[in-house]
Chains A and B, each alone.
Chain A
Amino acid sequence: MNRRQYLAVSTAALSGLAGCLGEPEYTISSVETGDDSHPLALDVTAVDRNIAIESPGQLDITLRNTGTQDVIIKNTGVWPLGVLGLDSGGESVSADILLLADEYAEADTVEVRPNGASKDNAPLTGTLAAAESIQRQYEIDGRRVSSAGAYTLQGYFDEVPLSYRTGQNADWVAYHPSVTVTLTEQSMLP
């Protein structure tokens, strides 16, 4: 075996085996927010697109009141966005990926376990004043991602993360965010 053959064999072996071991890492390749007609709007920004073993990806999620009236928001878990998840559209009861937030640890209404989560169903209510916004940071832990693909942002336990109304006597309206987060698997080779 000459040097050139040695290099060829080594490279082929490296290429063939690379990625066989170790767990996949992902990249938040895109975040698309759709228009909706609610007085509420969500802005989602990928602050850290790299979902790596040593560090999770991070999304900044801002809930804005785009209307001219105060909006009363009701949900469960933590106010105002609740326990969020990313769902691929499968038939599982909960969303596929649990999004993690520091608020879960501070609240006694949410318990996050290594392989799941639970929450208190007691409703939490608060008011988001007209033209105001609230920002929360959520993390995507790669351990909780089973495959790459396009995911829809929704509540982790219930599809609807929150309900709202614009007056004390108005009916509650379910809020369906229209956000698609696409995750792609990182290649082990440069």
Chain B
Amino acid sequence: MALPRWFPVARKEATTLLKSKGTWILAPLLVVWGYGPTYISWDTLGPDVTVGFVQVAGSLLLPLCVLLLTYRSIIQERTSGSLKFLLGLPLTRTEILIGKVFGRSVGAVVPFAVSTVVLGVIGGFKFGLFSPLRFIGVFLVTVLYIAVLVSVATAASAVTTSTVRVTAVVFGGFFLLLTLGWKIVGVRLYSAVTGNPVNPLDPPADGLLFAILRLSPGRAYRTVTNWILGLANSGGQYTSVATVLYPGHSVNEYVVDAAFSGQPVPAYLHESIALVVLLLWGVVPLALASYRFNRGDLA
């Protein structure tokens, strides 16, 4: 089977990223960031707490670093003028975007995979044998999340004309609002739409609130990984979700099982829908960027 035409672009992007020491600094940082066992999460998950480490590694530091490694992928070539040489290759502009996304995704996945293996070894040694299926499942969803992040950053890089703008869009808009602060933004959005105030320690059993919350790619990612962990239906970090479910404890995290206790849960709040949301984040921005990039001026 012949390799796709964009493969040389992808290989160059992956090689460039993997030759950068900055990429490899990510691996030990993710190990330290991800390893954070708590007594309650151990009581709730047992040895599978190790699987939770992978989710934590993929939750805050990984998105930030992946966006940092990716957001200039097109704009750098545009401002330096090398994009014109790239377009001289027998490739469509869409193929260039696909090659960039694929190559940079591979370049970011490799150090993450190394840190996942180290976390698995450390966790397995300390907490015993965990479920390999859950471990691999959370790893694969995190790989998808990395591809989504690369896709969004590449899309932003392709449709903006200056580094300042792409920085503002990727870090000010996507990372700060949609990844880091979506719990606050989403709840305020819900309150503005419905007029209902939300007590974060006792959220209402309203499907709209939870649907808004999981529109964020980060919370959609955690919803799917919490599902794989067998923990609960929530976009919160597994340690917070375990604390909400633990008797006698409360924390301001939004967990469907706790809010809807005993009441029927709307079908659109099923965890599989969060996987669809994640996939849409990977496809829609890139498709829109591709449409604009194909018609845009490269100057």
Chain B nearest CB, measured from A180 CB (Å)? 24
- Docked Cα-Cα span, A13 to B128, in Å, equals 27
Are A22 and B37 also in contact (CB < 8 A) when A13-B25, A13-B29, A54-B126 are? yes
Are A23 and B32 also in contact (CB < 8 A) when A13-B25, A114-B247, A115-B249 are? no
Interface size class of A (residues with CB under 8 A): 20 to 34
Is there an interface contact between B38 and A9, defined as CB atoms closer than 8 Å? Answer: no
- Docked Cα-Cα span, A14 to B28, in Å, equals 7
Is there an interface contact between A6 and B25, defined as CB atoms closer than 8 Å? Answer: yes
Chain A nearest CB, measured from B136 CB (Å)? 22
Are A53 and B37 also in contact (CB < 8 A) when A6-B21, A113-B247 are? yes
Interface residues of B, count at CB 8 A: 23
* B residues near A115, Cβ cutoff 8 Å: 248-249
- Docked Cα-Cα span, A17 to B30, in Å, equals 10
User: Is B7 in the interface zone, CB < 8 Å from A?
Assistant: no
Among candidates B21, B33, B42, B43, residue contacting A17 with C-beta atoms closer than 8 Å: B33
User: Is B266 in the interface zone, CB < 8 Å from A?
Assistant: no
Among candidates A1, A21, A116, residue contacting B36 with C-beta atoms closer than 8 Å: A21
Are A14 and B32 also in contact (CB < 8 A) when A53-B42, A143-B40 are? yes
Q: Closest 10 A-B residue pairs measured CB to CB?
A: A21-B36, A143-B39, A115-B248, A22-B36, A114-B248, A17-B32, A53-B42, A23-B38, A53-B37, A10-B28
Where the two chains meet, the residues of B that have a C-beta atom closer than 8 Å to any C-beta of A are 21, 24-25, 28-29, 32-33, 35-40, 42-43, 56, 126-128, 246-249
Other CB < 8 Å A-B pairs besides A21-B36, A23-B39, A53-B42, 14 of them?
A10-B28, A13-B25, A17-B29, A21-B32, A22-B36, A22-B37, A22-B38, A23-B37, A53-B37, A53-B38, A54-B42, A54-B126, A114-B248, A143-B40
